[in-house]
Structure 1
């Protein structure tokens, strides 16, 4: 009865409800013949019948018979929040002139003032999109308002299927101002008027956390070409490090959408000198233009990265690049391998390089390809006519649903205990727009409900051995397939995948876990970070706007209990035993829907999260540190607690308390211990003029009531 009440969305009358027991009895018995004088029952059967025959089987397949992993024993673990996306705006309404963006974050006093004036806190930074470690430092880079990338064509517009979102839209959890935003009109629109549609995309930030001093520095470059490339950038999707150089790269913005890019932006940073070397669009690698980048990988002293390319012949495909540069000329890259998919994930296993691919115009299904055996001196350059690496697995080997093939991507590749593991990204948030294009916008219709329930996919989890034998660990034995593309009939058929999962159903048992986003080996165990799309589903389900009623129906049908939204982190300790959960709710933050990055430094696991819910109080990215004494050992010294954030402003430096407490004193000394300046203060942040200090390298000491932090600054 609850199922019928939900799918009919309040259309049943009291008389209908009173008759439903008889309707249900007939459905169970299979006797639907009309009895004399039962015209009302018969008409009610005609109304609810399609929900039983068409919708109910898909609903039961999606929701029932799901077994979740056990919770791990986390008694030896400690998780700390190192830093988080700042509140960088008070939002008053779409297009409101008072919406002012401050990339370094707002003070508590400014936030309180804005809230008292009727505004809402906003986190423009969404994802900790790229992360790498070097020496004693963690570097990361971000994107902003990810659901709004591409303006009205952004992913968030799927929450308003079939609607005109060009003037902006919002719900309780996020807002996209599109062409109405002040930032777009004054910044992007100054380049070209039509670029005002990118109002929600701000310059991405780059940060450095020094584990020896407990300080975080915003190292985002500015001026000249840096400003130009950063502004024309969707965000910095990747970070990699080798031989004293950290790279940050991402897809271009102007002329691009969230799914199709026309260029890229790359930035090189000297980690020893603590300064940027330069930036470049990489539009010419032997005549080929880089349009996207996702991962970097070091093997045997060689740095590689996987990219999407428009090649010299205009073909959209993927490639693996090898870095031949150094600090004096960091832009020396050569193509060492071609594939039809975008090269999204890469690693070396059993002596060969494997690449996980994303769909391109050349190949509209995701794959895993196998390159040649990697020689001791690394993979060598190839020309444009070189043979593309052979496919050893493709998603269509598992799923026959046409929509799923278009919206599923290979993700999260990692070598662990003599196997190669990977997962999939099943982009469920694009289903509403596809549904609208097929005229399925009324979620009270059985056909629309079938389209949503039949198209939803969860992340699948795979591995292969040294003989390239592929094994499904989490997935489905059968999947619903839409018959219309092949037969013209708007029906659904359950079809065998040809696979039997070793541990359980797709999504690690969860109906809305859509992404195996990242993996890392820590303490000999495999850690797996996911994205939980239910966070988005809940966000658009609680709004009274009728255009979002379909999401409310889906939430009621398939949602778990409130409080279980947020990313999952799993740990796998034995290849023959199912993984266990470390958290199922984003470490207590349900708005954090995914773990984008994992990295190990100093026997600790650093976790970079993602949340595009820019109006939520705890929205935006977070950087966590997980310390498990079982791995790190009691002899490992504690790293200082995060206390100070700082940035350079040319001839001055701004210092701020990371916890919001007042700073007491700041002193600046040279390397010989001579004190040049001491400042006494009683506020959370201060800017100190250092233009009169003769030394280019000096020591800053910052004190608060709770601690003392000392670190080196290079001018």
Structure 2
């Protein structure tokens, strides 16, 4: 699709459903920046070898570390693993982008990256990957320490694993061991282990049987991990139970065998619930669609889930039960999930333009007008659902935020029309009434409230629509990921903040964990790798760790 058609279609989306005005903190909570990524490279042009620095005698500073991708707490220590240039990795690996992009906010080099030129095992579509980092923030001393060098110093194999890990997407801890895991450039999963008390590195390993990883869950004296099975998770999914120790940290049992990748995990009504991502062939196979799965009762048999439970999981809902367009439904992912007020709550995830790309393959269009209609008809904002009595004859699923009807394409008549979702939202439209809230990235319950963190891709849209020519500071109103709060399951959500928690380049709240006192630690997503000028009026790119606490005012 030509950029003019894409831009025109996105303008139509903007005009038809402008985002809600940004909301300031509601006064109940306040937030503080604890740590932030710093420039780690010098950029001097696409395909040009990176000059020494920073500081940069040539070129400009660049910050590659973009996401707090995995996050866990051990007492007063906040552990996190990073993701790098994630915007570039998604557009490359998911959308098939290969042409380098350069604008005032970020650069994506793809095949022109020095990573690809110097390492043939790095595929061009993820050429902007950099080794992820492991950090621990001590909330008592307010000191942030980078532990990554321990990995590189251990052995050439450990260094290779870090260099080839796309990002540390999951972090968890149990029995004095901290585990950080992430997908690899080869399509596998790497896991790194640390001693939670001494911060000593314990080692790493590669699991070639798994191909993606997303979330650890510590619950009921056990630690669980959701993964994809096969290269890049193409052969289904699993939930693993950690059976390791300080001396032997890389031991897991398979306690769920699923036809789809397990995404986020939550305890629910004496069980474990898992949201999922779709598998190949999901258009005509509901069990392979993104949805919600629940485990057998944890109290059955031995304590917690065991290998005997692996075949006992049940899909209780899938995206096709809501999305009327079957091609678009196959592109849904499911994200954050939490148990609150007697319900299991979950939300959807929509990679920008992914549904459009799939539609283009199934239904190629010949004219700009038809292509614009295809873009407009395939965009989705996140929807929030909840359910109770899951897996029983009394199961009840409700749409909390979403749509009554959505566009569906008829391949025979070659027309779009709105079809019912068979739901009526309880509290508002998709995306918490903002069409650019495309991910429900995390849900967490603390202080008797359900918090929901989103991704808002409106800032990225302005770069696409402008053709990458945007150089001035944009109006921050409406930009930045959102934090929403349910104070009661029967009342609509309240916006805690909708502008990236003080930095509108933070396009998402990627991670949230409780602080033990009713507040939250927030791990932000910010891939604006060229926004490093401290003297201009634009905030800086790179990950941020933020503490949300009750206001003393």
TM-score by length of 1: 0.68
Q: Which moved more, 1:433-442 or 1:613-622?
A: 433-442
Given the alignment, which residue of 495, 504, 515 partners 2:428?
A: 504
Q: Give secondary structure in 2 for the equivalent of 1:96.
A: coil
Aligned twin of 2:172:
240
Aligned twin of 1:626:
548
Q: Which moved more, 1:510-519 or 1:615-624?
A: 615-624
Aligned twin of 1:609:
524
Between Structure 1 and Structure 2, whose CA radius of gyration is higher? 1
Matches of 1:73 and 1:233, distance apart in 2:
36
Given the alignment, which residue of 451, 460, 472 partners 1:527?
A: 451
Matches within 5 A, 1:414-433: 414-431=338-355, 433=357
Residues 273-329 of structure 1 show CA distances to partners (whole Å, capped at 9, x for unaligned) of 22111101123xxxxx12111111112111111111139xx9811111111111111
Aligned twin of 1:144:
84
Q: Shift of the alpha carbon at 1:98?
A: 4.0
Residues 499-520 of structure 1 show CA distances to partners (whole Å, capped at 9, x for unaligned) of 0000011111011110110011
Q: Give secondary structure in 2 for the equivalent of 1:614.
A: coil
Given the alignment, which residue of 222, 228, 231 partners 2:160?
A: 228
Matches within 5 A, 1:46-195: 63-64=16-17, 71=23, 74-100=26-52, 106=54, 110-111=55-56, 113-114=57-58, 119-149=59-89, 153-155=92-94, 158=97, 165=99, 168-186=100-118, 188-189=119-120, 192=121, 195=123
Residues 349-398 of structure 1 show CA distances to partners (whole Å, capped at 9, x for unaligned) of 11122111111236442111121111261111139xx6362211111001
Given the alignment, which residue of 126, 139, 146 partners 1:211?
A: 139
Matches of 2:463 and 2:443, distance apart in 1:
27
Aligned twin of 1:593:
507
Q: Shift of the alpha carbon at 1:206?
A: 0.6
> Is the 2:381–2:430 Cα contact (8 Å) retained in structure 1?
yes
Matches of 2:404 and 2:506, distance apart in 1:
31
Matches within 5 A, 1:428-507: 428-431=352-355, 433-434=357-358, 437=361, 445-466=368-389, 467-484=394-411, 487=412, 489-507=413-431
Q: Shift of the alpha carbon at 1:408?
A: 0.9
Q: Shift of the alpha carbon at 1:97?
A: 2.6
Q: Give secondary structure in 1 for the equivalent of 2:307.
A: coil
Mark the runs of 5 or more structure 2 residues left unpaired by the alignment: 283-287, 533-539
Matches within 5 A, 1:636-655: none
Q: How many residues align?
A: 523
Residues 428/355 of structure 1: CA separation in 2 closer, same or farther (3 Å cut): same
Aligned twin of 2:285:
none
Matches within 5 A, 1:355-394: 355-361=274-280, 363=282, 364-375=288-299, 377-382=303-308, 387=311, 389-394=313-318
Mark the runs of 5 or more structure 1 residues left unpaired by the alignment: 1-5, 11-54, 159-163, 255-261, 284-288, 546-551, 553-559, 635-715
Residues 175-214 of structure 1 show CA distances to partners (whole Å, capped at 9, x for unaligned) of 122232234323x23xx5x757654211100100001111
Matches of 2:14 and 2:165, distance apart in 1:
41
Higher RCO structure (Cα 8 Å, ≥6 apart): 2
Q: Shift of the alpha carbon at 1:138?
A: 0.3
Q: Give secondary structure in 1 for the equivalent of 2:296.
A: strand
> Is the 1:476–1:500 Cα contact (8 Å) retained in structure 2?
yes
Aligned twin of 1:402:
326
Q: Give secondary structure in 1 for the equivalent of 2:502.
A: coil
> Is the 1:71–1:580 Cα contact (8 Å) retained in structure 2?
no
Matches of 1:473 and 1:464, distance apart in 2:
10
TM-score by length of 2: 0.87
Matches of 1:432 and 1:358, distance apart in 2:
18
Matches of 2:275 and 2:265, distance apart in 1:
6
